[in-house]
Amino acid sequence: MTAIHTVVLEILRTGPPHNQLLSPLTPYLALCGEGSPVTFRIQFEHHQLLNRLERLRYVTEGGRAVIPERMRVAELQELGAEVARILAEIPTLTAEISEASGSRPRLIHLRLALSGSELALIPFELANAPQGFPGERLELQLQASAPITLTREIRRGRPLPVEWNRTPRLLFAFAAPGGTAVPYREHTHALRMALEPWIRRAATPEQRLPLIKDHLTVLPEATLEDIRRACAASDYTHVHILAHGVAYEQAGEQRFGLALAGPRDRSRAEIVEGKRLAQALRAVRADGRGQSQPSVVTLATCDSGAVGSVLVPGASIAHDLHAAGIPWVIASQFPLTKLGSVIAVEVLYERLLLGDDPRLVLQDLRQRLFTAAGVYHDWASIVAYASLPEGFDRQVSLFREEQMRRAINVAFDWAAEQSDLDQMERALAEADRHLARWKALLPEDDSLPSRELKAECYGLHGASHKRKAELYFRRGAREKAERALREARAAYALAMDQGTQSHWTATQYLSLTAVLSGRPEPDLWAATRGWAASDLKRADASTRAWAHGSLAELELLASYHQRPFSPKKALAAIAHHCEQIIGLMGPDSFHVQSTERQFRRYLDWWDRQEWRELAQRALEALRPAATSPDPAASQ
């Protein structure tokens, strides 16, 4: 897993955010790292920068480019060098970047916090690397010496709260009123393919459509009210908007908005500015549970990251959405080609939904746009407003783990439905692919948090191999089933090697040792029992319920790993622990279902005389109504 080193650069000036033009006469203050504040000036005249930015547009008239390609490419190179000179004026930034790049290979995340609207006009994303930076004179975010990705943020007292680890639910809204065209089919297909690992299989496309709609909502020819109603009705984690960007006047000053369908006539456009769009995306929830809170909003809209006039309050659409409390907003500060928009949605949603860190995803996106878009500069057009509160890395890791679990479960469900062994193994290969990816992304260091991540990953490998073994067993492939059980036991052993004292992985290791007739391990059994008992003191009911599940199974496994062994005491203890699970979590909880499924294996799959009565007692305690005699039946 790539390590990320964060460098924060704040650029400040006195006065309100608006009503200030760029000028070589204006002093700015830069704060970066532990160095002293640096006062510097930006050598741009405001109207000159606006003219130069105009040369980077892909505007056509009658099929011919307004700005010749050679002039646009030359301006791109020259402006990149000019922005590099601005960064070179800040010695503390050079020192921080040099220190970050001097250590082992990692991604450097440059967080840019700006206090003035005029500063947001500067296309920092297309800067060349200044002297003293890695890859000097190459494009800063494309050089490979020490990869750098840049995000912007609004300077505020504390970062926006982010709830990254949520089950993804996507909203895709598009509009092309007035006879215009947008690549909505390509975007829909990209989102659909990005979601594929988490959508359960069905016999027919018609049967699968409701399953797709559980993950993705599409609003064709969307109005602003359509978007507001959708966000009020459902808890969307990601919102993707595809529409044309349009310049409009506000109080006599130019602004950029997006062209959605009109509220009365969908064939006519309504120009929607950032603040109104933000209100729709942060709608009051219909169920009364506060406001909708998408974690990520992506805008496939030309100029959605462009500021326009700085004389009146407000900024770009992306800026306004971020100011309204949306943690991550990814937009375009210049016009975006159709090809570039399709590549962007493919890369962003495939990798974000897989659980990759969004900073790494941005770096990949810019590289992909650069290699695919030829002479165009879509890579420099991408602008990201981002908030990274404390603990964000951990949130990303937890989300990635949950996404892998969900994808693996979908693959196993698909495999279980196959009657043909070859088809089943193709489905299992999909689960193996996700397991291999998870393992490849594990951290390389030996810190306690890293060892906990590794233990979780290896434990899931063990659980997956065990599920695979059961599928083989049900189809009569006994040799493959035993091989998968041995792989599961080895994976649980790797999890235990991390030294995290997880009673779950140790219990499963002891279970498979008994099933495979390995050497009894009474010392490990006793230690595992102690680890599980310590979790009974935790405040969290779920943690205590899982501990009771382990303790119940350990009582059964004592028949193999412990001598002397008292069946009478084990039967009473198993019943007690199973009843505690029901009391803590309820009879229909996942905890009860999972524990019941495990004990049923001891009867249906791993049946032995030594633990048959113990497993039956567990099932009776977990499902008393289902296993007790029916009084009416005996009359």
- Are residues 190 and 312 both part of a single domain? yes
What is the residue range of 57's domain?
4-154
In this prediction, residue 626 has a pLDDT band, given cuts at 50, 70 and 90, of: very low
- Are residues 254 and 371 both part of a single domain? yes
> Is residue 370 scored above 70 in pLDDT?
yes
pLDDT of 21: 87
**Residue 162 placed within a domain:** no
> Is residue 207 scored above 60 in pLDDT?
yes
**Residue 205 placed within a domain:** yes
**Residue 159 placed within a domain:** no
Give the range among 64-73, 121-130, 320-329 with minimum mean pLDDT.
64-73
pLDDT of 313: 61
**Residue 298 placed within a domain:** yes
Amino acid sitting at position 359: R
Q: What does the buried/exposed string (b/e) look like for 154-188 if buried means 16 or more CB atoms within 10 Å of the residue's CB?
A: beeeebbebebbbebbbbbbbbbbeeeebbbebbb
pLDDT mean over 6-27: 88
**Residue 405 placed within a domain:** yes
- Are residues 22 and 117 both part of a single domain? yes
Specify the higher pLDDT residue, 35 or 472. 472
Alpha-carbon span 43 to 166, nearest angstrom: 45
Q: Which of 104, 121, 154 is the last residue of a domain?
A: 154
- CATH at 322: 3.40.50
- Are residues 490 and 510 both part of a single domain? no
pLDDT of 117: 84
Give the range among 62-71, 119-128, 381-390 with minimum mean pLDDT.
62-71
Looking at beta carbons, which pairs linking 362-369 to residues 24 or more positions away fall under 8 Å? Answer: 362/149, 362/151, 362/330, 363/107, 363/141, 363/147, 363/148, 363/149, 366/141, 366/142, 366/149, 367/142, 368/343, 369/340, 369/343, 369/344
Give the range among 146-150, 311-315, 377-381, 427-431 with minimum mean pLDDT.
311-315
Token pair listed for 22:
């760029």
Dump strand ranges (E) for 142-191. 148-154, 170-174
pLDDT of 580: 96
- Are residues 122 and 239 both part of a single domain? no
Q: Name the domain count of the chain.
A: 4
- Are residues 376 and 237 both part of a single domain? yes
> Is residue 396 scored above 80 in pLDDT?
yes
Cα 474 from chain centroid (whole Å): 36
CB 453 within 8 A of CB 355: no
- Are residues 418 and 536 both part of a single domain? no
pLDDT mean over 362-386: 89
pLDDT in tens, 258-316: 999 999 999 999 999 999 999 999 999 998 888 999 999 999 988 887 776 665 566 78
- Are residues 381 and 402 both part of a single domain? no
Query: Percent of the chain at pLDDT above 90?
Result: 69
Specify the higher pLDDT residue, 184 or 249. 184
In this prediction, residue 624 has a pLDDT band, given cuts at 50, 70 and 90, of: confident
- Are residues 232 and 369 both part of a single domain? yes
Non-local (6+) Cβ contacts of 106 within 8 A are: 2, 3, 4, 5, 100, 146, 147
Q: Which of 438, 473, 495 is the last residue of a domain?
A: 495
pLDDT of 369: 94
**Residue 570 placed within a domain:** yes
pLDDT of 62: 45
**Residue 160 placed within a domain:** no
pLDDT in tens, 235-261: 999 999 999 988 887 766 778 889 999
- Are residues 320 and 234 both part of a single domain? yes
pLDDT of 305: 77
Alpha-carbon span 117 to 576, nearest angstrom: 65
The pTM assigned to this predicted structure is: 0.89
In this prediction, residue 332 has a pLDDT band, given cuts at 50, 70 and 90, of: very high
pLDDT mean over 152-180: 89
Pairing relationship of beta strands 269-272 and 253-261 according to DSSP bridges = antiparallel
Tell me the C-alpha to C-alpha distance, in Å, between residue 105 and each of 98, 101, 358, 451.
12, 7, 18, 21
> Is residue 125 scored above 50 in pLDDT?
yes
Alpha-carbon span 346 to 188, nearest angstrom: 10
In the sheet with 328-332, reading across from the earlier edge strand, the strands are 38-41, 27-32, 4-12, 107-114, 148-154, 382-386, 328-332, 296-300, 238-242, 170-174, 216-219
- Are residues 203 and 276 both part of a single domain? yes
pLDDT of 35: 86
- Are residues 150 and 72 both part of a single domain? yes
> Is residue 61 scored above 50 in pLDDT?
no
Q: Which of 389, 420, 443 is the last residue of a domain?
A: 389
pLDDT mean over 544-553: 97
SS3 350: helix
Q: Please choose, from the candidates 369, 180, 368, the residue with its C-alpha nearest in 3D space to the C-alpha of residue 268.
A: 180
**Residue 165 placed within a domain:** no
Q: What is the mean pLDDT of the chain?
A: 90
Pairing relationship of beta strands 328-332 and 382-386 according to DSSP bridges = antiparallel
Alpha-carbon span 593 to 585, nearest angstrom: 11
